[in-house]
Amino acid sequence: MYVHLMWFGVFIMLQHSMLYFFHHYELPVILQQAQLQQLLIRNQHQQQHAAAAAAAAAAAAAATAASAETSAQPPEVPLQPSDSEEVSATPSSPPSGSEEDTLLPRDATAVGGDIPPSLPSSPDATDAVGDSLPM
């Protein structure tokens, strides 16, 4: 007869232990994770709203600046030569050097010329600190 009372006591003690463990160890961790998740979501939404507001403000500022710039300056009219001025298609004097100099590449090795003095001419050439250059 008292065996059933013993098993009931064990069952109640087990239930009490599970509730105690849950409330003192599991529940605080669950609540802390929930608060952290809510904080992160709130910050993410605030950053998105702030970025959207900043973009809208920048667009409004750009539109205001563009409208102020167009209203402050008269429209540009392309200049046309007058009838008395002579329009020439070729310049009166060529730029420094001849035409051939401007058409040829500056690197003489590309057209088969000598190696410029800035480049090493032999495989055993060394750089400024004395190490050999890789070939």
pLDDT of 49: 87
In a domain, 94, yes or no: no
The token duo for 61 is 């500022």
- Report the Cα 135 to chain-centroid distance in Å: 37
* Number of domains within the chain: 1
Range of the domain at 51: 1-68
38 lies in some domain = yes
> pLDDT tens, position by position, for the chain (135 residues)?
899 999 999 999 999 999 999 999 999 999 999 999 999 999 999 998 888 888 888 888 888 877 766 665 655 666 666 555 555 555 555 555 555 555 555 554 555 555 555 555 555 555 555 555 555
Contact predicate 132/126, CB 8 Å: yes
> Would you say the pTM of this structure is higher than 0.95?
no
Residue 7: inside a domain, yes or no?
Answer: yes
The pLDDT value recorded for residue 67 is: 75
